[in-house]
């Protein structure tokens, strides 16, 4: 098993660098485990926080995959 850490999955540059580091490697299973949860309520919406959660939880795994 190989663990890749220190890559900010919201950063296209960081993910490109990760791809370069892995070039030539065969990946059988990818565990995309990064995730964050910030609690927001309808009465107290923090759009920056929500945007960050979409970046990390939704777009980040797509970018890494
Ligand atoms: N714990 C639970 O019981 C539970 C239950 C249901 C769902 N969840 C969900 O599962 C996810 C993870 O929960 P957890 O308890 O394991 O949280 P955690 O201990 O805070 O771990 C989150 C992991 O995501 C990484 N991460 C966060 N932002 C990142 C980014 N931009 N780029 C790369 N890596 C990033 C962190 O890396 P660093 O350490 O390097 O920051 C850390 O390894 C969350 O979305 C949470 O809502 C958790």
Residues of the chain predicted below pLDDT 50:
none
CA of 1 to the centre of ligand 1 (A): 20
Cβ burial of 41 (10 Å; 0-12, 13-18, 19+) is exposed
Of 3, 32, 33, 36, the residue with max ligand 1 atoms within 8 A of its CB, to mutate for a pocket test, comes to: 36
Nearest CA to ligand 1 atom 42: 34
- What is the model's pTM? 0.87
63 within ligand 1 shell (Cβ under 6 A): no
What does the alpha-carbon distance between residue 54 and residue 52 come to, in Å, rounded to a whole number?
5
CA of 56 to the centre of ligand 1 (A): 9
């Amino acid at each position: 098993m190989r663990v890749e850490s220190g890559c900010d999955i919201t950063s296209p540059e960081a993910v490109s660098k990760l791809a370069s580091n892995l070039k030539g490697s065969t990946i059988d299973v990818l565990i995309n485990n990064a995730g964050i949860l910030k609690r927001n309520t309808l009465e107290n919406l923090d759009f920056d926080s929500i945007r960050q959660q979409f970046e990390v939880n939704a777009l980040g795994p797509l970018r890494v995959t």
